[in-house]
Amino acid sequence: MAYSSTRDWITALDRAGELTRIREPVATELELAELADREMKSPDGGKALLIEKPTVNGRVSPFPVAINTFGSWKRMAMSLGAASLEEAAASLGALVKAKPPQSFREACRLLGAAFELRHAKPARVKTGPCKEVVRRFDPPPSRTEAWPPAPDWRSAASLDSCPPTLLDLPILRCWPLDGGRFLTLPCVVTQDPDTGARNVGMYRMQVYDERTTGMHWQLQKVGARHGRRYYETGTRMPVAVFLGGDPALAFSATAPLPDGLDEFLLAGWLRKKSVDLVKCETNDLEVPADADFVIEGYVDSKEPLREEGPFGDHTGYYALPEPYPVFHLTAITHRRDAVYPATIVGRPPMEDFYMGAASVKLFLPVLKMNFPEIVDLALPAEGVFHNLVFVSIKKTYPMQAFKVMHGLWGMGQMMFTKYMVVVDEDVNVHDTSEVLFRLCANTDPQRDGILTKGPADVLDHATSEVAVGGKLGLDATRKLPGEGHRRPWPPIIRMEEAVRRKVAERFGSRS
């Protein structure tokens, strides 16, 4: 199922009883975040919210804000046009099953080829709804001269005669110590200058003024790798950012696809309809024709980096200021009826937990091709994505848990995993209490732990250096001969099934 715009997506959520409309004005400075946080932390992720009258500096914006639209299992599956995430994962697994690949890289190449065959290849179109209103920003006359002030569109008769600048969009300031307003669901399009390969990544953008923002692509992300090539050659880097359109687009921008695999292919395959792309007004990059907003610009590789942050982050703490590239705006184009999509991150559980978990579920079949012993894998909300990974395996030989740990630490963004706990196949990794029970019962820390080091998430404030850190793996599986446990392994306590059934029949089921 493909959605043609954020409005279309909101209508589907409304029909499914998954939307709450907020009709009173809500300030985009902190108030909206507090409202969203309460919703995200309510049972099963609460509802998606449509704030119909968000206010910017006390004035009502013409663009409503949609938030928490991915924030439950049901909405996450709906956003991908699937009845359930398991269904989407099974059909992704089936794509590579026909010819099992020998490596993860090969699996991804195969996936790319399979996506193309399934009509997921993006199509080029001349124009689209994202160009209904176009505002180009003339470059400043010289580097030192200030930009001319933008006209006040609020006093203008229509958006067409005076479309908005960045300062007019209902962009949130999420937490009290945030360094400013941040675009929190931007899909950032860049191109590898050597190969021409496109990347779409979700990297937050801090609004510095009406024509510049920060560009928070972290060290190990593909946008940053593209950026480094422009810095090496001293050339200006075109960048296009889009918001909204089909929600499968935003999800694909967050998915940990390998460098070189086009996120628009994944989005096209998920929505079962290829993504129509239009060329930008002020550079040659392409963006989805159905997007709600497109923000075009560039990064000047000769310009010094600028401090970005603080920002209340996924970790539940503020990410402190760090130097990042500056994005310069050259145009904003948008739908006339655009809805501004946003999220907030912070102390878990938050909306992004479902986005991360959906990636894990979706790509698990591909991961299993490389590690056939893996039964299931979970990133519990408390671990904020990669801090904590639980993995269950069907163990058949000694030290297999360690083989899996080393393998996973070497796979794409799994490199950020700080604590990894491996359990036996009968353990439900989505039940944190059960995993902790097995961890405590089945490990001798000295024998079953491994301390190692590697690249770390740049957001991890606990590491001594940015992006470099330690890792702890714990083997909580039943020990086999050869693993240093020289005593009999006791059976786990379980009641006989027949007795359980009989007691349940007589006294009712309590579990």
Q: Whose Cβ is closer to ligand FMN: residue 276's or residue 457's?
A: 457
Q: Which residues of 45-61 are buried (b: 16+ CB within 10 A; e: fewer)?
A: bbbbbbbeebbbeeeeb
Min separation Cβ 294 and ligand FMN, Å: 18
Q: Whose Cβ is closer to ligand FMN: residue 31's or residue 192's?
A: 192
Indicate if 313 belongs to the active site. Answer: yes
Structure tokens at 352: 């992004």
Residues that bind ligand FMN (CB under 6 A): 184, 199, 201-204, 216-218, 221-223, 254-256, 343, 345, 352, 355, 413
Q: Whose Cβ is closer to ligand FMN: residue 382's or residue 431's?
A: 382
Min separation Cβ 223 and ligand FMN, Å: 5
Min separation Cβ 123 and ligand FMN, Å: 22
Q: Hey, is 390 helix, strand or coil?
A: strand
Structure tokens at 432: 């944190």
Min separation Cβ 183 and ligand FMN, Å: 10
| φ, ψ at 404 (rounded to 5°) | -65, -40
- Distance from CA of residue 112 to its chain's centroid? 20
Min separation Cβ 46 and ligand FMN, Å: 17
Q: H-type helices in 322-399, by residue range? A: 351-370
Q: Hey, is 11 helix, strand or coil?
A: helix
Residue 282 to residues 135, 470, 472: CA-CA distances in angstroms? 10, 44, 48
Q: Whose Cβ is closer to ligand FMN: residue 216's or residue 395's?
A: 216
Q: Whose Cβ is closer to ligand FMN: residue 20's or residue 220's?
A: 220
Q: Which of 178, 262, 290, 313 is catalytic?
A: 313
- Distance from CA of residue 187 to its chain's centroid? 10
Q: Whose Cβ is closer to ligand FMN: residue 407's or residue 412's?
A: 412
User: What span, in angstroms and rounded, lies between the C-alpha atoms of 78 and 88?
Assistant: 11
Min separation Cβ 413 and ligand FMN, Å: 6
DSSP for 100-125 reads --SSHHHHHHHHHHHHIIIIIS-EE-
Q: Which residues are CB-contacts of 53 (< 8 A; sequence separation ≥ 6)?
A: 23, 24, 25, 26, 60, 61, 64
Q: Hey, is 44 helix, strand or coil?
A: helix
Amino acid at 217: W
Peptide bond into 163 cis (omega under 30): no
**Residues assigned a catalytic role:** 313
